[in-house]
């Protein structure tokens, strides 16, 4: 499993300890990768240009009046497409979305 760095989404910055970013590994690394992927709008940032990193959820919920069932199924599809790219995620099940 790949390592990643702890990110504080409220402050918008990496968490430091003695001036050094805190490195995560194992399940904590995977959880951080999942949250970062879900929170990153696909195609928005130059950093990820040419990569399929992030999800395309905002287009489904902001400024549109899609029926709830359609929006749920599309959000689920987008999340699965994004998250199944990780080498350690092989399937998704027991999936729920709260409105």
Give 28-81 pLDDT, tens digit per residue: 999 999 999 999 988 888 888 888 888 988 877 777 777 878 888 888 899 999
Is residue 92 scored above 80 in pLDDT? yes
Q: What is the pLDDT of residue 28?
A: 94
Residue 50: per-residue pLDDT:
80
Q: According to the model, what pLDDT value does residue 1 have?
A: 66
Mean pLDDT calculated for residue range 3-17: 94
Angle between helices 68-83 and 26-39 (to 10 degrees): 130
How much is the average pLDDT of 79-89? 92
CA 44 to chain centre: 13
């Amino acid at each position: 499993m790949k390592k990643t760095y702890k990110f504080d989404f409220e402050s918008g910055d990496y968490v430091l300890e003695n001036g050094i970013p805190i490195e995560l590994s194992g399940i904590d690394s995977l959880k951080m990768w999942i949250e970062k992927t879900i929170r990153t709008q696909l195609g928005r940032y130059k950093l990820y240009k040419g990569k399929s990193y992030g999800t395309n959820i905002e287009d489904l919920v902001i400024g549109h009046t899609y029926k709830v069932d359609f929006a749920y199924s599309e959000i689920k599809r987008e999340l699965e497409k994004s998250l199944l790219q990780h080498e350690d995620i092989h399937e998704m099940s027991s999936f729920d979305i709260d409105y």
